[in-house]
Amino acid sequence: MSASVLPEPGTATPPVPGDQPASPAPLPAAVPGGDRPVEAGAAFEPVVIGFTCNWCSYRAADLAGTSRMKYPPNIRLIRLMCSGRLDPTFVLKAFAEGADGVMISGCHPGDCHYVDQNYKTMRRYQLLQRTLEQFGIEPGRLRLTWASAGEGAIFAHEVTTFVEQVRALGPLDWPSAPALTDGDAGCAAMLDPGVTA
């Protein structure tokens, strides 16, 4: 899986001349849940995972950042070469490991750099919504959006509205789902391989 993680908005530090280039950030093994509020009565801050396409939506996120457009820091971006690279198990694993919401974002239909892979993403999205519902997870915790490289404002808007939507749904707290404790194997067993191929 070719992926990298963007720093959270506002946390990037400028490079220091003479510094060695940093090695690529590893894909997190688990969604960090340590930043959830621990004090009684503290506001709920949802953890949202965003799977973005390298050619469009990841660049839209970059544009939003460099243009100083504001969007909630609740989202952790994971870059894929194409939204069609998204295996449904990635989404289930994110929920199983503590995410409250997952956003999938890619090139507009017809603009995919790999011809028609984002049409497969649409079908997987529909499959995932049905699967999540069967597990008692609100379909509103999953969103599919399109954003071209020049649509930083659209990307920021989608993130903002989605984070608010997940915040309204409340914490998911689904890490103890028994079928998911086996990690990828457990997730894969729940899905029809003929549909995910």
Binding site for ligand FES (CB under 6 A): 53, 55-56, 82-84, 106-107, 112-114, 117-118
Min CB(159)–ligand FES separation in Å: 17
Min CB(60)–ligand FES separation in Å: 11
Q: Which is nearer to ligand FES, 119 or 135 (CB)?
A: 119
Min CB(184)–ligand FES separation in Å: 23
**Closest Cα to residue 62, out of 120, 113, 105, 119?**
105
**Rounded Cα gap, residues 142 and 154, in angstroms:** 17
Q: Which is nearer to ligand FES, 36 or 108 (CB)?
A: 108
Q: Which is nearer to ligand FES, 72 or 106 (CB)?
A: 106
Min CB(111)–ligand FES separation in Å: 7
Q: Which is nearer to ligand FES, 104 or 172 (CB)?
A: 104
- Within 8 A by CB and 6+ apart from 171, the residues are 36, 44, 46, 100
Q: Which is nearer to ligand FES, 115 or 168 (CB)?
A: 115
How far, CA to CA in Å, does 122 sit from each of 18, 88, 115, 143? 45, 11, 14, 11
Min CB(45)–ligand FES separation in Å: 29
